[in-house]
Amino acid sequence: MKKVFDSASAALDGLLHDGMTIAAGGFGLCGIPELLIAAIKEAGTRDITIASNNCGVDDFGLGVLLATRQIKKMQSSYVGENAEFMRQYLSGELELEFNPQGTLAERMRAGGAGIPGFYTKTGVGTVIAEGKEHKDFGGETYILETGIVVDLAIVKAWRADTSGNLVFRKTARNFNVPAATCGRVCVAEVEEIVPVGSLDPDCIHLPGIYVHRIIQGTHEKRIEQRTVRSA
The pTM of this model reads 0.95
Domain count, the chain: 1
**Domain containing residue 198: CATH number:** 3.40.1080.10
Q: In this predicted model, what pLDDT tens digit does every residue of 23-58 receive, in sequence order?
A: 999 999 999 999 999 999 999 999 999 999 999 998
> Which strands form 134-137's sheet, in the order they lie side by side?
117-120, 140-146, 134-137
Specify if 225 maps to a domain: no
Provide, for the chain, the percentages of residues in helix, strand and coil under a 3-state DSSP scheme, each rounded to the nearest 5.
25, 30, 45
Point out which residues pair with 214 in neighbouring strands.
4, 188
Asked whether residue 189 is assigned to any structural domain, the reply reads yes
Look at residue 1 and tell me if it is in a domain: no
Reference 176, options 153, 193, 160; nearest CA is 153
Q: Is residue 224 part of a domain?
A: no
Residue 2 lies in a domain: no
Helix, strand or coil, per DSSP, at residue 183: strand
Whether residue 224 is predicted with pLDDT greater than 90 in this model: the reply is: no
**Residue 213 half-sphere exposure toward CB, CA atoms < 13 A:** 21
Residue 20's domain comprises 8-216
Average pLDDT over residues 70-84: 91
